[in-house]
Amino acid sequence: MTTRFFLGTHMPSWLERTDVPLFVSRTRLIGRKTLPRARGMWALDSGGFTELHRHGRWTLSARQYADEVRRCRDEIGNLDWAAPQDWMCEPSARKATGLSSAEHQQRTVDNFLELRSIAPDLPFVPVLQGFEVRDYLTCLDVYEKAGIDLTAEKVVGLGSVCRRQATEEIDRIASMLHARGIRLHGFGVKIAGLATYAPCLASADSLAWSYGGRRVKPCAHGRASSEANCIHYAMAWRRRVLAVLASPVQLAFGLEVA
């Protein structure tokens, strides 16, 4: 399997500056009077982590979110897929909501079903949520009981992994789900982990270049104080990541991509 890599960016203007696949959060698009026109393929993150940690719940309805996604599809163009209003299962997210992992999983599935029902024309994808291996199997069962065959989906998000350090555990989770025939998207995956579990992912995204760029001062391509917002720095970083995906053994022998 060849892993498609979406470059994460918090600058929507990049959509009209490059044709490389981009991953953009709705939190960067809402409220704008005009939206950029995409040159290439992109995917939309729902901003769930921010919603749940800031408010302890989703503050907009499924219909409101569907309206936002439809506007993005129509005005920006080239939208490959959009994440649903999922409920992360990290301990910090569950602390913010006061709900159990099982409730987060059920709400994730319920929202996906609602979005598909009210907006069948939009490219919403399901997301598997959990924290430990058995949690993802439980979430898989919830989808199956709802009549959703995840092996028939173009891609299925692998949730609650972007802030995980235990790449061996994520490898076990990804391998288990991949073996069941599910085409996975890794949200915000650790780049070091790609050397191990990239074969189990249909696609992945990362914004790690920006976090690393904060420590590179000043920006070599302009007057900014660091490389945290530099498209040239991000593209160079992306090329290194693609080299890892093409030949993961490079990372094992010390290729620096962070």
Q: pLDDT digit string (tens) for 225-258?
A: 999 999 999 999 999 989 878 875 544 433 334 3
What average pLDDT does range 40-64 have in this prediction? 97
**In which element (H, E) is residue 81 found?**
strand 79-82
**Predicted confidence (pLDDT) at residue 209 exceeds the cutoff of 90:** yes
Q: Are 125 and 45 in contact (CB under 8 A)?
A: no
pLDDT at residue 257 in the model: 41
Q: Residue 128: which of 183, 63, 81, 199 has the closest Cα?
A: 183
| CA 112 – CA 93 distance, rounded (Å) | 19
**Predicted confidence (pLDDT) at residue 78 exceeds the cutoff of 50:** yes
| CA 89 – CA 160 distance, rounded (Å) | 6
What average pLDDT does range 214-235 have in this prediction? 96
| CA 176 – CA 187 distance, rounded (Å) | 17
pLDDT at residue 8 in the model: 97
Q: Which CATH architecture has domain 4-206?
A: Alpha-Beta Barrel (3.20)
Instruction: Report helix, strand or coil for 16.
Output: helix
Q: Which residues have C-beta within 8 Å of that of residue 14, sequence separation ≥ 6?
A: 22, 231
pLDDT at residue 194 in the model: 78
Question: For 103, what's the count of Cα atoms within 13 Å in the CB-facing half-sphere?
Answer: 8
pTM tops 0.85: yes
| 122-169 pLDDT per residue, tens | 999 999 999 988 999 999 999 999 999 999 999 999 998 876 655 788
**Predicted confidence (pLDDT) at residue 54 exceeds the cutoff of 90:** yes
What average pLDDT does range 178-193 have in this prediction? 90
- With bands split at pLDDT 50, 70 and 90, how would you rate the model's confidence at 193? confident
What average pLDDT does range 200-226 have in this prediction? 94
pLDDT at residue 40 in the model: 98
> Both ends of the chain: CA-CA distance in Å?
23
pLDDT at residue 179 in the model: 96
Say how many residues make up the chain: 258
* Mean pLDDT, the chain, integer: 92
pLDDT at residue 251 in the model: 42
| CA 53 – CA 48 distance, rounded (Å) | 8
SS (H, E, C) 94-143: HHHHCCCHHHHHHHHHHHHHHHHHHCCCCCECCEECCCCHHHHHHHHHHH
Q: Are 8 and 206 in contact (CB under 8 A)?
A: yes
The proportion of the chain whose per-residue pLDDT surpasses 70, expressed as a percent, equals 93
| CA 111 – CA 83 distance, rounded (Å) | 11
Between 101-118 and 133-145, two packed helices, what is the crossing angle to 10 degrees? Answer: 40
